[in-house]
Structure 1
Amino acid sequence: MSDKVTAAFVRSFFAKLKRQTGPQRVLVLGAGTSGDMLVRDMLRNYTCGYLPVAFLDDQVRLHGGKVQGVPVLGSIDKLSEIVKSLPVDVIVIAMPAATDEQMRRVVEYCERCTVPVRTLPKLDNLVNGQVSISALHDVAIEDLLGRAKIQLDWQIIEAGLCNKVVMVSGGGGSIGAELCRQIAGLNPTALVIVERCEYNLYQVEMQLRQDFPDLLLYAHLGDIVDAVAVYSILEHYQPEVIFHAAAYKHVPMLQSQVREAVRNNVLGTKIIAEAAAAQACEIFVLISTDKAVNPTNIMGATKRAAEIFCQAMNGRSATRFITVRFGNVLGSAGSVVPLFKAQIAKGGPITVTDPEVSRYFMTIPEACQLILQAGAMGQGGE
């Protein structure tokens, strides 16, 4: 091969590589405050991999104008037409304040295009209300949940956690990690996390340190069935509020793992609850499940046993013991939704308990908000 041919090949290879590794051209849906902030972040961080090329927004007054130097080409119903006429690599929905109906309409428009779609979380779920590239994620079922948002008394919740040392067991799990994130935003004196999975603990710790740099955070790798470790942690940090989220939750698996289910869900709860009482912790919140109501499986039975123990503990010490139950949580560990997704991806069928069954879902943030409110309002023994 001649030098000229070799040089041409090298130039062609690197030109192709540059095209493949260049920034993704982004069409942003929503030119309001959130879209403005997001595009500003993209333009400021030139290594982020995103290049905004245009906006679409239903506000007619914005049409023909520019936001951060990026043109607003028209309304969102023109999406298919714009994608065909512009080189677009990804569509970003920057509408965190959109209603569920608006969000579903926008997603329907996006489905008509063959371009990947990403979105921002709901406004309530943005860390400190800040819009940034790091908040972008693929559109999930949670983004399309079709019902009114729950109403919470954040004043009561913050009053119960502000300037308190708060501990979360199982803080690396789906519920535990979200609890930690929400608690971190309520100005606790310190947040103590106990988690036995090192990778999960690492993930939640890094995320919290990034999002809440001023938070006094202690992350402990440990197991709630290790009584010596549990008593040592509580004695050292003296938590005033404990959220006990550590548990096994996978119903079919626990049917054949009875010993481990009892050991973790019952004995582990007994150890941490007794340690909380011994250290005069103010509030102990057990996170339980609707499957503890007239349980028909091992998981439900172990959680019911944990509930009965915590109810019996209430009144024996200064600690208020409160139990919170909830049902199906979208995206949580053990949820049926990942199974449904996998079955759909394989072309079906979708296996359900009964063709006529109805399932009622809440999102992980909603579940955690209800847990926090229950902890703030509970008198003990509930």
Structure 2
Amino acid sequence: MGKSKDRTLVIGAGSTGKHITLKLLEKENPSKIPIAFLDDDPEKQSMTLLDLPIYGPLNHLEEIITLQNISSIIIAIPSLLPEKREAILNVAQDKQIGCQEAPNVEELLLQKKKVFDLHAISFETLLKREPVSLDTQLLTEKVKNKTILITGAGGSIGSEICRQLIQYQPEKLLLLGHGENSIYEIHQELQGIDTETSLIQIIADIRDRQKITEIIRNYRPDIIYHTAAHKHVPLMEHNPHEAVMNNILGTQCVGEIASQFGVESFVMVSSDKAVNPTNVMGATKRLCEMVVQRLSSTSQTKFSSVRFGNVLGSRGSVIPLFRKQILAGGPVTVTDPRMTRYFMTIKEAASLVLQASSLANGGEIFVLDMGKAVKIADLARNLIELSGYSLSDIPIEYTGIRDGEKLYEELLLDSEVQKKQIYPKIYVGKTYYQDFEDLDDVIENFNTWSPEVLRSRLLSIANHIDLPSVSKGVIS
């Protein structure tokens, strides 16, 4: 059986776009099938070129991708403004579809330059491992005809959870976020899918107890996926009070109300930065895990946390940054040649969160087996080479470690490690916290402390949590 062909949208209905499309149409067995053009010129819109429709303007890109089931993009406008190029790349990144940029016609005709490949690189290729897969039957049993609330639904992980969830036919998806644009965008995207699932947009702050109570009382969700959080390490180093309010108090607020109204399952997205944290963001995530496990010990709701490493392609992650730097001609900046991280794709991250909700008995910290840690410098080098360049064309520049960063990150403490997988590529470490006085001290008094004292207190608590026991049982 042959490979499936990419349904390709050519952006630019000028000479370059026409030339690229002709070349594709002339190929005997092309990997890309041109489906349509997209152009900003109003005179070209609603017309055809090479018997293909021309859509427009460019800000309709997401709609056209959904309408035509596009799986590949070719940018064929050599003079495209940087901000428009960036907008296209961001959409391609969010949709996880291939994107290439063509040189101008003269360079193509003279064969001076090949197509500059920016996004036609699978994240699995960069990771060099097989992606995690889902138990679809178990998920269907857990999700079908249920009402599901996703906090942070417009974020990278939250929006992907929505995309995957809708396949399992929930009755309602409650799309909750603080930013109206991101919620509008994911709602528009999901509306383009043929589904009977009701989509409900909710703009709310997860710290607003009255509003969250009203939402959960009115809609009575069966499952909550809590993805809303501040995640940027350097930013949170300088804003520790906001990190505590949003991450810890927000988690506590939504969790307590979920328990009050008998929600079946509550799954919180955590981070590998919660292990032996050296930064405020990681420390707040560690305390969030404590909040969730305390709630689990007293509630009928199944509370659990899902811990994973860095997500390739998410907003603010290294891959979008590296791509911008490559597009600009370099250099690609890496903080330290020794720095390593665990990586996963957005789809894997969302898959793990979904699978965790179907496996949870309460109190677990689920962890994805993400293979070996990857050197950031190697990732940068791979991306440069896969983009058709060498290190002499696009050099790597080392800039030094930023505030709160560490060279190496872990997914589980030694005392949490459980050798047996509960599901292919998923481990669980069940920890028992003995004393929550320090957690309560932070929640009650953090606003009276200076940023320096708060940071010190968070790190002290997060790094001295008692973990006397690890569950060895396999969840069935």
Are the aligned partners of 2:174 and 2:199 in contact in 1 as well (CA < 8 Å)?
Answer: yes
Cross-structure match for 2:314: 332
Structure 2 residue ranges without an equivalent (≥5): 1-11, 38-44, 53-74, 78-97, 99-107, 365-476
Cross-structure match for 1:243: 225
Per-residue deviation, 1:236 = 0.6
Instruction: Give the letter for the 2:160 counterpart.
Output: E
Give runs of aligned pairs for residues 15-34 of structure 1, distance below 5 A.
25=21, 27=24, 31=29
Cross-structure match for 1:216: 198
Per-residue deviation, 1:202 = 0.6
Are the aligned partners of 2:206 and 2:212 in contact in 1 as well (CA < 8 Å)?
Answer: yes
Shift in alpha-carbon separation, 1:320–1:31, aligned structure 2, 3 A: farther
Is the aligned partner of 1:259 residue 2:241? yes
Q: Provide the rounded CA distance (Å) in 2 between the counterparts of 1:259 and 1:166.
A: 30
Is the aligned partner of 1:139 residue 2:120? yes
Shift in alpha-carbon separation, 1:314–1:52, aligned structure 2, 3 A: farther
Cross-structure match for 2:146: 164
Shift in alpha-carbon separation, 1:51–1:174, aligned structure 2, 3 A: farther
Cross-structure match for 2:214: 232
Q: Deviations over 1:350-369 (max 9, x none)?
A: 44343123333211011101
Per-residue deviation, 1:49 = 6.7
Q: Provide the rounded CA distance (Å) in 2 between the counterparts of 1:319 and 1:284.
A: 7
Are the aligned partners of 1:172 and 1:203 in contact in 2 as well (CA < 8 Å)?
Answer: yes
Is the aligned partner of 1:306 residue 2:283? no
Cross-structure match for 1:155: 137
Range 141-150 or range 260-269, more displaced: 141-150
Per-residue deviation, 1:346 = 4.5
Per-residue deviation, 1:338 = 2.6
Are the aligned partners of 2:143 and 2:170 in contact in 1 as well (CA < 8 Å)?
Answer: yes
Shift in alpha-carbon separation, 1:213–1:253, aligned structure 2, 3 A: same
Q: Provide the rounded CA distance (Å) in 2 between the counterparts of 1:51 and 1:233.
A: 51
Larger C-alpha radius of gyration, 1 or 2?
1
Q: Provide the rounded CA distance (Å) in 1 between the counterparts of 2:113 and 2:345.
A: 27
Cross-structure match for 1:81: none
Give runs of aligned pairs for residues 81-96 of structure 1, distance below 5 A.
none
The sequence identity of aligned pairs, in percent, is: 40
Are the aligned partners of 2:123 and 2:345 in contact in 1 as well (CA < 8 Å)?
Answer: yes
Shift in alpha-carbon separation, 1:312–1:198, aligned structure 2, 3 A: same
Cross-structure match for 1:274: 256
Per-residue deviation, 1:116 = 6.2
Per-residue deviation, 1:294 = 1.2
Give runs of aligned pairs for residues 294-373 of structure 1, distance below 5 A.
294-373=276-355
Range 357-366 or range 161-170, more displaced: 357-366
Instruction: Give the letter for the 1:114 counterpart.
Output: K
Instruction: Give the letter for the 1:216 counterpart.
Output: S
Are the aligned partners of 1:25 and 1:52 in contact in 2 as well (CA < 8 Å)?
Answer: no
RMSD value, Cα: 3.4
Q: Secondary structure at the match of 2:282?
A: helix
Is the aligned partner of 1:177 residue 2:173? no
Instruction: Give the letter for the 1:333 counterpart.
Output: R
Instruction: Give the letter for the 2:164 counterpart.
Output: Q
Instruction: Give the letter for the 2:259 counterpart.
Output: A
Task: Give the alignment's TM-score, normalised by structure 2.
Answer: 0.55
The structure where helix makes up a greater share of residues is: 1
Structure 1 residue ranges without an equivalent (≥5): 1-16, 54-87, 91-102, 104-109, 119-137
Q: Provide the rounded CA distance (Å) in 2 between the counterparts of 1:140 and 1:248.
A: 28
Shift in alpha-carbon separation, 1:112–1:282, aligned structure 2, 3 A: farther
Number of aligned residue pairs: give it: 290
Q: Deviations over 1:69-111 (max 9, x none)?
A: xxxxxxxxxxxxxxxxxxx969xxxxxxxxxxxx9xxxxxx99
